[in-house]
Structure 1
Amino acid sequence: MQSVTHVTPTARQLAYQDWEFGLFVHFGLRTFYEGYKDFDERPMTPNAFHPSGLDCEQWIRVASDAGMKYAVLTAKHHDGFSNWPSRYSEFTVAASPWKGGQGDVVREFVDACRKYGLKPGLYYSPYDGSAGFYSQDAKAYDDYFVNQITELLTGYGEIDILWFDGCGSEGHTYDWPRIIGEIRRLQPNILIFNMGDPNFRWVGNEDGIAPLPCWNVVDTTDFSIYTERQDRLDGQLWLPAECDVQLRSTWFYSDQNEHTAKSLDELMGLYYLSVGRGANLLLNVGPDREGRFPELDAERLQQMGAEISRRFGSPLGTLTECTVADRSWLYKPEQPMLIDHIVIGED
């Protein structure tokens, strides 16, 4: 007779699943190049980076008001521009005119998260378009990878999420045992997204929609939007899904697409198709070139938060008011009432 293995979550994974709703922030040098796309061949210079009104507190205050529990900032996107003054690159905020080269977006972001009680997360693209040795010297690039991650995980206190994006890494081999070993040594409680040794996974699309059903236990993860490749895991693992989606039609700010901002009805639909299917929802807003959320985007987030609270903030009944009989939960209200939502979850 074969024994049955029960795959269970860690306490950190359960906590993550309870956060449910988070903020994605795509911000960096690309913000200052209208229409710049992933792997765009147009050259960029740090001289263009100058968010004179940068206000990370505004970002996080809006997110907190919307009921979001965590936030993830692009510390480094595929272009390789570091939003902190990394000692291992010249393509960073330190080479920009912003604050005379003394600025640190990651610092201001993390401090804002702590002020407003959101869990801070950092997006780090393993692929780096600014590192000329990326494809020539895998060992040298692994050194660079570890050095930059070490800066992020030792300079800003506890970081809750490290978000790895597989785009651009198709076909590249990283020394994941070494990289993950350092990450776990530096911050044992951190949650890693989708690559290396993940604690939660990408849902497989950028539409904000989880499949039905959306199981927590899987044996593979999707790699990136640019390939059908799936990475096989070491057996079945508890890896809850996260749905990432844009508020507008681009991840980074554009002054050409305000009209594409999703309506409240669209956003609530995505909430039902992500959180409602057992996944987390990570909703992206791109700060403008001043370094603030556009007024429309901020207003839309607050409307969404208010609507979620209106629909789910005051339940008519809870499990504490139920009785258990015959393996069933029974709820008997004292008076007839109209019920239009029932929230059920796995024990």
Structure 2
Amino acid sequence: MDRDTPTPRQLAFMDWELGAFFHFGIRTFYEGHRDWDGRPMPAEGFWPEQLDCGQWMRAIKAAGMTYAILTCKHHDGFANWPTRFSDYSVASSPWQNGEGDVVRAFTDACRAYGIKCGLYYSPADAAMKAGSRSAREHDDFFIGQITELLTGYGKIDYLWFDGCGSEGHVYDTARIVQVMRNLQPDLLIFGMWDHDVRWIGNEEGFAPPDFRYTVTYPAGDSHFPHLAGPVTRFLPAECDFRLRERNWFYSDCDEHTIKSVPELMGIYDGSVGRGCNFLMNIAPDRRGRLPEADRLRLAEFGQNLRRRFAAPLGCDWSETEQTVRLTLQVPSLVKTLVLEEDLAEGQAVTDFEVLFYPGHVNGDLTVSVCRERSIGHKRIIELPNLYARKLEIRLTVSQPKPRYLKRVSVF
């Protein structure tokens, strides 16, 4: 069924805004390995002797993040929980005498610190690529492991699928979707099948300035092969990127590439500020802790973000006939304008123009300072330091609605 309006879960997801991605697993302990390189990584090397997922959560909360995602099984096939479907897991490692469970530690820490809980899973793995399983056997294996994750760890908020490596394998999508939706009906799914959230299309953290939520997939598209005919969906997007320049997993060699606070603030504006979610990868080290340099950068980023939006200017605003009028309580220097569209009935704003009434001039003189094409969940607009007494936002829309904006703020 087509749907061009968000579900309640999608509206909630957009409010999460900031997320953390934790790439952690067997590859953490084997420096220099790359996706699909075929080099052996024996389970005996997995030994996070100081694993502290609580430290991860404290660090991301300091950065203002509200949700977190753990790599449960990456392309190498190593399971971060004691799965019954493979010998290549934490149960075959010496860590905690083979009785450890990273997924348990992670999900418990998420709940202890009030962080939404997400699990990453790569359907493709080295064994599948090597032809060790038939197509049917691989789907059974996949469903078996996903069932463990969705039944053994309480409510999971978000399931994140990585499509890399699945090219050429035809999954039994209808069966897979039915299992997931039956086990956890409130689950949000990223990528691949029957998804609620889509990838923005790059791994640099940036959304396009004219982002639109509604997507139409042709009949037979791999995202909805279990449905007949074209499919239209309202789909929020997520912008993933690495805190360090190149590596998703921990490396001893790239601490000097940690992104600066100004760069992170720019990525925030290019993701959240364009209506999408911000997902930063932070790689725990071989102790099972976040490196101190990474932790400090998260804290600095959070401090800067809070400082930037701590003191909105006093104003009153109203919306009539596709025009928003904002009056400052005192003429002030305005640097940043934040607009939030009411998306409950879908995205309607197709263009908008921002004008200001100069604070030094009485009367109706207005100056146009900005023209853009979309607002969405949140639009952050940097203005050229305007001394203003009023602002006016003129909207062009695609459909009539009782109101178009739910919040306007100036800083």
List aligned pairs for 1:299-310, cutoff 5 A.
Answer: 299-310=296-307
Identical amino acids, percent of aligned pairs: 54
2-structure distance, mates of 1:231, 1:307: 41
2-structure distance, mates of 1:66, 1:316: 24
Q: 1:346 aligns with which of 314, 336, 341?
A: 341
**Residue in structure 1 matched with residue 240 of structure 2 by the alignment:** 244
Structure exhibiting the larger radius of gyration computed from Cα positions: 2
Change (3 A) 1:121 1:232: closer
Structure holding more helix per residue: 1
List aligned pairs for 1:60-209, cutoff 5 A.
Answer: 60-131=57-128, 136-209=133-206
Q: For CA contacts below 8 A with separation 6 or more, give which structure has more relative contact order.
A: 1
Letter in 2 for 1:31: T
1-structure distance, mates of 2:19, 2:198: 15
Matched residue SS, 2:259: coil
**Residue in structure 1 matched with residue 258 of structure 2 by the alignment:** 261
- The Cα offsets for residues 191-236 of structure 1, whole Å up to 9 and x where unpaired, read as 0001111000011111111112111111249xxxxxxxx8465422
Does structure 1 retain, via aligned residues, the 8 Å contact 2:195–2:223?
Answer: no
How far apart are 1:133 and its partner, in Å? 7.2
1-structure distance, mates of 2:9, 2:3: 18
Matched residue SS, 2:307: helix
Letter in 2 for 1:88: F
Matched residue SS, 2:72: strand
2-structure distance, mates of 1:127, 1:6: 30
**Residue in structure 2 matched with residue 31 of structure 1 by the alignment:** 28
Does structure 2 retain, via aligned residues, the 8 Å contact 1:243–1:279?
Answer: yes
**Residue in structure 2 matched with residue 224 of structure 1 by the alignment:** none
Change (3 A) 1:346 1:135: farther
Change (3 A) 1:25 1:331: same
Letter in 1 for 2:168: G
Change (3 A) 1:85 1:232: closer
How far apart are 1:334 and its partner, in Å? 2.1
Does structure 2 retain, via aligned residues, the 8 Å contact 1:246–1:284?
Answer: yes
Letter in 1 for 2:232: Q
Q: 2:7 aligns with which of 10, 27, 33?
A: 10
Matched residue SS, 1:15: helix
**Residue in structure 2 matched with residue 227 of structure 1 by the alignment:** none
How far apart are 1:157 and its partner, in Å? 0.3
Scaled by the length of structure 1, the TM-score of the pair is 0.92
2-structure distance, mates of 1:232, 1:29: 29
2-structure distance, mates of 1:134, 1:206: 29
**Residue in structure 2 matched with residue 284 of structure 1 by the alignment:** 281
Does structure 2 retain, via aligned residues, the 8 Å contact 1:206–1:243?
Answer: yes
Matched, 1:272 2:285: no
231-240 or 253-262: bigger deviation: 231-240
Scaled by the length of structure 2, the TM-score of the pair is 0.78
127-136 or 239-248: bigger deviation: 127-136
Structure 1, gaps ≥5 residues long:
222-229
Does structure 2 retain, via aligned residues, the 8 Å contact 1:62–1:298?
Answer: yes
Matched, 1:51 2:48: yes
136-145 or 244-253: bigger deviation: 136-145
Letter in 1 for 2:181: R
2-structure distance, mates of 1:189, 1:103: 28
C-alpha root-mean-square deviation of aligned residues, in Å? 1.7
325-334 or 230-239: bigger deviation: 230-239
Matched residue SS, 2:238: strand
Does structure 2 retain, via aligned residues, the 8 Å contact 1:134–1:141?
Answer: no
Structure 2, gaps ≥5 residues long:
225-229, 343-411
Matched residue SS, 2:272: helix
2-structure distance, mates of 1:201, 1:314: 33
